[in-house]
Amino acid sequence: MSTVAVFSPAKINLYLAVINRRKDGFHEIVSLVVPVCFGDSLWISLEGNQGKISLDCDMAEIPMNRENLVWKAVELLREVHPFRENVHISLKKRVPVGAGLGGGSSNAVAVLRGLNQLQGNPLNKEVLAVLASRLGSDCPLFLRDGPSLIRGRGEIIDELDESLLSRLRGRKVLLFKPGFSVSTAWAYQKLASSGGEAYIGEEVVEEKFAAYRKGDLSLEELMTNSFQSIVGKKFPAIPLLLEQLKNRFEIPVLMSGSGSACFALLEERNQVEELENTIKAAWGLGTFLEETTLL
């Protein structure tokens, strides 16, 4: 039996602008996405030759069948590189579901990478990127090991210069999620039916990124999420807490992806325990909290 262990990082969106809805039904986005040092762990094994797939996970609500992107990743890789070995995947989940942290997409890409490694790396990065985009719009970014600027529906990834990367890597961040989740499909539907109020013009987006690249705009000033106002109308607990944290602790805070998880960028001066206690007081003792760093 051959086995490989793969780390599957969560991500946050430091900037997420939805520009418009395309004719193909997808939305045009621009997003600065950064993986973090917190995530899930997968163990991928090959044994036997019946072509079977099996999956186990320590989180009860995770489907153990074709509904799981992990399963679909195995089938997709077999389409382009057929192999008969049985695949077994053990998944240890730490990233909460329905959080906007990319856990499921990251897991699927981890399987693509792990299986490719077990097969002797027959597929190059370009082929893996095509497969990842077939799994989901936010999957290709997890083939990168650091911050990415993504465009289109998420499949176009721009290179970031080293000076920009160095300003992001290693920065401390606190992730926090309430006891409820937000459906990404629902969030996009609400965005599309909002009459364009949450869309951000492409010219505005490019001007902000140009200013950020030159250092004329701080990361705190850049941070935006088109979904935050839409999601906040149904779940006011999110914007209410973010406003409280911003005013009381003077820290940059934002919702990640389509929610419901949020994050705060931390400085050495921040009293993290007091910050966490404030979050739990607002959202309950069962609130998910994780202090980590940007990759």
- The pLDDT tens digits of the residues spanning 142-197 come to 999 899 999 998 889 988 889 899 999 999 999 999 999 999 999 999 988 887 78
Beta bridge partners, 15, equal: 32, 224
The residues that are catalytic are 11, 138
Rounded CA-CA distance 35/25 in Å is 27
**Which H/E stretch holds residue 58?**
none
Between 149 and 271, name the one with better pLDDT: 149
Neighbours of 172 (CB within 10 A): 15
- The pLDDT tens digits of the residues spanning 113-132 come to 999 999 999 999 999 999 99
pLDDT band at 254 (very low <50, low <70, confident <90, very high): very high
Residue written as tokens 């990168």?
Answer: 144
Q: Beta 2-21 vs 27-47: how paired, if at all? A: antiparallel
- The pLDDT tens digits of the residues spanning 69-125 come to 999 999 999 999 999 999 999 999 999 999 999 999 999 999 999 999 999 999 999
According to the model, what pLDDT value does residue 23 have? 86
pLDDT band at 40 (very low <50, low <70, confident <90, very high): very high
Q: Stretch 208-225: mean pLDDT, rounded?
A: 94
Would you say the CATH fold of 162-293 matches that of 2-158? Answer: no
Q: Is 134 exposed, middle or buried (0-12, 13-18, 19+ CB in 10 A)?
A: middle
Alpha-carbon dihedral angle through residues 184, 5, 171, 271, given to the nearest 10 degrees: 90
Q: What is the domain partition of the chain in residue ranges?
A: 2-158, 162-293
CATH number of 2-158: 3.30.230.10
Long-range Cβ pairs for the range 221-225 (8 Å, 24+) = 222/14, 222/15, 222/32, 223/14, 223/15, 223/252, 223/254, 224/15, 224/16, 224/17, 224/200, 224/254, 225/13, 225/15, 225/16, 225/254, 225/255, 225/256, 225/257
- The pLDDT tens digits of the residues spanning 9-37 come to 999 999 999 999 888 888 999 999 999 99
Q: Beta 86-92 vs 53-57: how paired, if at all? A: parallel
Asked if residue 260 has a cis previous peptide bond (ω within 30° of 0), the answer is yes
Quote the longest CA-to-CA distance of the chain.
60
Rounded CA-CA distance 179/96 in Å is 10
Strands (E), 98-171: 148-151, 156-158
Q: Stretch 222-249: mean pLDDT, rounded?
A: 97
Beta bridge partners, 293, equal: 172
Instruction: Give first-to-last CA distance, the chain, whole Å.
Output: 32
Rounded CA-CA distance 230/167 in Å is 30
pLDDT for residue 268 is more than 90: no
Rounded CA-CA distance 264/289 in Å is 11
- The pLDDT tens digits of the residues spanning 53-72 come to 999 999 988 999 999 999 99
According to the model, what pLDDT value does residue 195 have? 76
11 and 141 Cβ atoms separated by less than 8 Å: yes
Domain 162-293 has CATH 3.90.1720.10: no
pLDDT band at 198 (very low <50, low <70, confident <90, very high): confident
